[in-house]
A and B are shown apart, each in its own frame.
Chain A
């Protein structure tokens, strides 16, 4: 009894109505009167609904379905289908979503792909130019919020502080905003650049390096991160990626973010190393002790090209070679610190009785 011709069957189109007020099902017959749908109840009563107030829903085993978006629960099922005269006056039922239906699935997929790729690329590249534009005061505040001032774990002696200041001054770029350097009591062979022009050296470094020139190399490397604004770039990138990928909130994008983050880190590390070698040369400090340190680290590292891809730092053997190659025969090198200064700096954490090791509970 479907109606391809679009004419109404004798006595109207049969339909079932739920009015959204009670669970009762009403058998009604429908008549089309211009832009109005007339519902005729079994007892002869009539109800008129403007077609503009109606919307189609997806067809199914119940036949065709009309609803009134403004009346939740109101529903008209047409088991014998929708007459063409009615179908042509109503927009088609929604399928994927309003605007996707309008432009078509394929075009929507292409458009979304383009926008998504653009967003990810923007999130990856923006920090590189935006990072250096962030005022230092803002970066300092972020740093304070993230890690605090670490003052309880910072070692101080007058002579040690003076030696550290002289070391920084020797390898830093002249005429730049000041850098705040701290030696933290913590048994770890590492150093880090923190947001807001800060450098921290962990006391374990001095037990391992045993040479002011190697410490100068490490300090120059961290200064490279500070002066090239790598820290802000990394913060922005992480924040940007997490916003762009927030919709996914699954494990896989997290890994993607990590891998791209590491790759970025590699570029930054290379840049900081180049900065360090240049500053060591200007300060007439030999790069060989730094090279020796990396040679030593390289022996404990797993080998293989794939490890280098995964690591955030370049392979230590390659770094050792680069620092060694930076040594010029014929150059006159002098120690980065005097013996007295080195003693004061490297023993600062042992001599400062007030300091508490980091994460000491």
Chain B
């Protein structure tokens, strides 16, 4: 993966990646572009994704307390699946860098996900309807 390899340091630095100005520039979207390399998210973008994930998880847990909101089971399942898919996408796209990496990696992973969903949905419907 080596994008930019500044001199090795042994000092703690837990903030936004520090890269030489001549080699890297951070865009307004929180993505660092380095000369001759593909885009890498900044640490701040990771934090924003984590906050979104935490908020989604909090809302998911809120749906568990049916006595508070009184929503129907169908509405709950639709909302939970939507939030699950959104969380899944956020982790895969940003934390696993698929949004910024070679498309072949995205295709390989999506192929596995879709294949699993098709096979096991067919299996479950087979037991239920056939």
Question: Are A and B co-members of a single complex?
Answer: no
